[in-house]
Amino acid sequence: MTDLLSADGASLAQLLHPLASVLTGADNPYRVLQWLRRSPAAHLLGRLALDPEALNHKSLDTLPQRAAAA
């Protein structure tokens, strides 16, 4: 999970700890893995996690307005 949600692959921003906890605590980890591999939203999440301080509506509004960003 740290690989997906951190810029350096080693440390996780405090802001993202709740998200990591939800994803790693899922009842069915295989479904989470499938979502992480295939979902455009998961790929967008990975991009946004590179700068967790920029996780806000203004930043999202600058992205292409596809379903994942909506």
What global pTM score does this model have? Answer: 0.64
The rounded radius of gyration (Å) of the Cα atoms in the chain is: 12
Amino acid identity of residue 6, one-letter, is S
The torsion angle over the Cα atoms of residues 45, 49, 55 and 60, rounded to 10 degrees, is: -40
- 35-64 pLDDT tens trace: 888 988 888 887 777 777 777 788 788 877
Q: At what angle do helices 17-24 and 29-38 cross, to 10 degrees?
A: 120
